Structure 1
Amino acid sequence: MTQIDRLPTRITSPESPTVALVTGGNSGIGFDIARQLLDLGVDVWIGARDIDKGRRAAAELGPSVHVVQLDVTDAASIAAAASQIGDLDILVNNAGVNPGGEDITSTDLEQLRIAYEINVFGLIAVTQALLPALRRSQHPRIVNVSSGTASLTWNSGPNPQFEWERVQGGGIAYRSSKTAVNAVTLLMAQTLGDDVRVNALAPGRRQTNLIAGMTGGGDPAEAATGALRLALLPDDGPTGALWSWDGTRVPW
């Protein structure tokens, strides 16, 4: 399958709610994913490292959203959040960081450690903690927010969209960590099989804190719609792939 055309329309009932957790849901793309899930009747938890920022986001989203303190680098925080959430149908691993740095000649190793600690190790740790709950779901879904700039095919081939990055080799900490996310997504899908649909999202360049100080960037809400496609896939939907926000499959 190279295209997901169907937009999600599944509305959950109060008697059997669909429950979702969006890590890093207090801002950026995560905030819009949470908002759009709420609009479809999903019972949404937003995970926030800073609980005060999470509460402010919840106040903006409305009274039906739940907030949980969740630092994806802290095992105790993850365990407490998993216990508080309980049942879960959708996990959106959205929390991420771009620690800065440029190419291999100038990036500090600490920037690489930060990127991998949050973007990769944190994603795996949260998924491991929530897998028991997801396995109890009738329609479990995992969406890992990645990046089109992590596609090795796009970066090594003649793709004008990423030409400057391919030539300069910039952003090695962020981009290589998201390439690792792509690999983790594929291996997750292979491990979990048909029991859990696992996909990665390339949200496109968006005006969020990740590109603070940089020019350009589209509306995060547009990317969030792509996340919903994957979060509410039908049971025969794809698994183990990287998808653009518009539903087009992205090569690894």
Structure 2
Amino acid sequence: MTTTLITGANKGLGLETARRLLEAGHTVYAGMRDLGSGDAAKGLGAIPVELDVTDDASVAAALAALPGLDVLVNNAGIAGTSSGVDDLDVAAMESVLQTNLVGVVRVTQAALPLLRRSANPVVVNVASGLGVPRFLQDPARIESHVLAVPYTAAKAGVITLTVQYAKNLPGMRVNACDPGYTATDLNGHNGHQTVTEGTDAAVRLALLGPDGPTGELHDRDGRIAF
């Protein structure tokens, strides 16, 4: 049985990823800051676990509760409060980076001892096309119209982290995914994709075997060149 931990799995992309991996036969631990928001995950058959990616003790306790770990999906993220340079300050930057970037490191580092015991360890980091500089500069792409600094910088960092983790951990499959513009609470449900479409890449990467790619960024159509 494949044991999977998904952060931010009480709703949105995380919850849908949990649903689909449960259907694929995984035992899914659904990480969330508040166990009171875990009814939907529990209803699917996932096991809710209290996990705040910004808190060392919370992460350590969550990992200690797992019997093992084969797949880690770093999905937790926030949009932040800054919509551009005019309302940007250090606090806004730090808040997004702590959750969306440092949180990936905090959870992954805590998970490494368990992942190293797995016969097929896989890490999937939920990034974004907003972290790809050429997308931000291409007027034909929706990403180019987003001015917010913290979120885009954090997702660019997630992509780079993914490459570096893959290089450091050649025995694991470590990849990032771009969900695309998906209707979730993060964007006020304005995205044109469903959560199922938005989790296509994450699910595909979570199901990789030992011969699968590593250090790559994928969307639902396949690999994205950096």
Task: Please tell me whether the aligned partners of residues 148 and 250 of structure 1 are also in contact (alpha carbons under 8 angstroms).
Answer: no
Question: Which aligned pairs between 1:73-84 and structure 2 lie closer than 5 A?
Answer: 73-84=54-65
> Per-residue deviation at 1:158?
5.0
Q: TM-score of the superposition, structure 1-length normalised? A: 0.86
> Per-residue deviation at 1:129?
0.4
Number of equivalences: 226
Question: Larger Cα Rg: Structure 1 or Structure 2?
Answer: 1
1:159 and 1:202 map into 2 onto residues whose CA distance is 17
Gaps of 5+ in 1: 1-16
Q: TM-score of the superposition, structure 2-length normalised? A: 0.95
- Amino acid aligned to 1:21: L
1:211 and 1:70 map into 2 onto residues whose CA distance is 23
- Amino acid aligned to 1:131: L
2:207 and 2:112 map into 1 onto residues whose CA distance is 17
Secondary structure of 1:233's partner? coil
Is it true that 1:203 corresponds to 2:189 in the alignment?
no
Is it true that 1:239 corresponds to 2:223 in the alignment?
no
Aligned partner (choices 26, 30, 33) of residue 46 of structure 1: 30
- Amino acid aligned to 1:199: N
> Per-residue deviation at 1:162?
2.9
2:11 and 2:126 map into 1 onto residues whose CA distance is 14
1:159 and 1:250 map into 2 onto residues whose CA distance is 16
1:89 and 1:105 map into 2 onto residues whose CA distance is 43
Moved more, 156-165 or 120-129: 156-165
Is it true that 1:250 corresponds to 2:224 in the alignment?
yes
Task: Please tell me whether the aligned partners of residues 68 and 81 of structure 1 are also in contact (alpha carbons under 8 angstroms).
Answer: yes
Task: Please tell me whether the aligned partners of residues 95 and 119 of structure 1 are also in contact (alpha carbons under 8 angstroms).
Answer: yes
Question: Which aligned pairs between 1:170-209 and structure 2 lie closer than 5 A?
Answer: 170-193=147-170, 195-209=171-185
- Amino acid aligned to 1:115: V
Aligned partner (choices 107, 112, 117) of residue 126 of structure 1: 107
Secondary structure of 2:78's partner? coil
2:191 and 2:26 map into 1 onto residues whose CA distance is 32
Instruction: State the superposition RMSD in angstroms.
Output: 1.4
- Amino acid aligned to 2:66: I
1:142 and 1:160 map into 2 onto residues whose CA distance is 28
Q: Deviations over 1:58-117 (max 9, x none)?
A: 33313xx21110001111111111110131000000000111312223322211111100
Task: Please tell me whether the aligned partners of residues 151 and 179 of structure 1 are also in contact (alpha carbons under 8 angstroms).
Answer: yes
Aligned partner (choices 35, 39, 61) of residue 19 of structure 2: 35
**Identity between Structure 1 and Structure 2 (%):** 40
Question: Which aligned pairs between 1:1-252 and structure 2 lie closer than 5 A?
Answer: 17-54=1-38, 56-62=39-45, 65-157=46-138, 159-165=140-146, 170-193=147-170, 195-212=171-188, 215-246=190-221, 248-252=222-226
> Per-residue deviation at 1:150?
1.0
Question: What is residue 6 of structure 1 aligned with on the other side?
Answer: none
2:66 and 2:105 map into 1 onto residues whose CA distance is 18
Task: Please tell me whether the aligned partners of residues 135 and 144 of structure 2 are also in contact (alpha carbons under 8 angstroms).
Answer: no
1:58 and 1:164 map into 2 onto residues whose CA distance is 34
Secondary structure of 2:77's partner? coil
Task: Please tell me whether the aligned partners of residues 115 and 177 of structure 1 are also in contact (alpha carbons under 8 angstroms).
Answer: yes
Higher RCO (CA-CA < 8 Å; seq separation 6+): 1
Gaps of 5+ in 2: none
1:226 and 1:122 map into 2 onto residues whose CA distance is 21
